[in-house]
């Protein structure tokens, strides 16, 4: 089984992901944009059993704006590491923190909240796909 190593901005926290992710894409929701300080957030969703903190677990801070997302960051550099989504049984390990992983986005979520249009031919969900509890409504590219 393949594994990929990643880290926070300063390297005090290291993670390892194994296997294949459940989904990859771009999130345009206000919460992710504000957290990442960017117009769009790149996510890679893994099952929790496939994500392991290999260094600096005691250095991980957690911020909960809502019960849907446990946003985890390095207490030394403030670098964002991952967000656990307990309701979906998934962990978003940010694409930029695992540089050796071949990021291949499949969809856009919360495109209805976008501030930056990306015309890339990928499906653009107004909120979430139906299988994740969303409307399944798509928007034009």
The domain of 121 spans 3-132
Residue 139 lies in a domain: no
The pTM score is: 0.92
Residue 90 lies in a domain: yes
Q: What is the pLDDT of residues 22-71, one digit of tens each?
A: 999 999 999 999 999 999 999 999 999 999 999 999 999 999 988 889 99
Question: What is the domain count for the chain?
Answer: 1
Measured CA to CA in angstroms, residue 7 lies from 12, 19, 97, 101 at distances of: 7, 18, 5, 12
Q: What is the pLDDT of residues 3-35, one digit of tens each?
A: 999 999 999 999 999 999 999 999 999 999 999
DSSP labels, the chain = --EEEEE-SSSSSEEEEES--SEEEEE--HHHHHHHTSSSEEEEEE-GGGEEEEE-GGGEEEEEEETTEEEEEETTT--EEEEEEGGGTEEEE-GGG-TTS-----EEESGGG-SS---SSS-BBSS--GGGTS---B---
Q: What is the pLDDT of residues 89-127, one digit of tens each?
A: 999 999 999 999 999 999 999 999 999 999 999 999 999
Cβ(14)–Cβ(52) below 8 Å: no
Domain containing 23 — which CATH number? 2.170.150.70
Residue 137 lies in a domain: no
Residue 20 lies in a domain: yes
pLDDT for the residue 19: 96
């Amino acid at each position: 089984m393949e594994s990929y190593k990643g880290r926070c901005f300063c390297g005090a926290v290291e993670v390892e992901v194994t296997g294949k992710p459940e989904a990859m894409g771009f999130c345009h929701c206000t919460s992710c944009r504000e957290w990442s300080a960017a117009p769009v957030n790149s996510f890679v969703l893994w099952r929790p059993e496939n994500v392991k903190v290999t260094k600096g677990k005691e250095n991980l801070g957690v911020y909960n704006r809502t019960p849907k997302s446990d946003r985890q960051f390095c207490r030394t550099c403030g670098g964002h590491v991952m967000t656990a989504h307990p309701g979906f049984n998934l962990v978003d390990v940010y694409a930029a923190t695992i540089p050796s992983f071949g990021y291949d986005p499949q969809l856009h979520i919360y495109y209805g909240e976008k501030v930056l249009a990306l015309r890339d031919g990928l499906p653009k969900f107004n909120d979430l796909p139906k299988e994740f509890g969303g409307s399944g409504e798509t928007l034009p590219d």
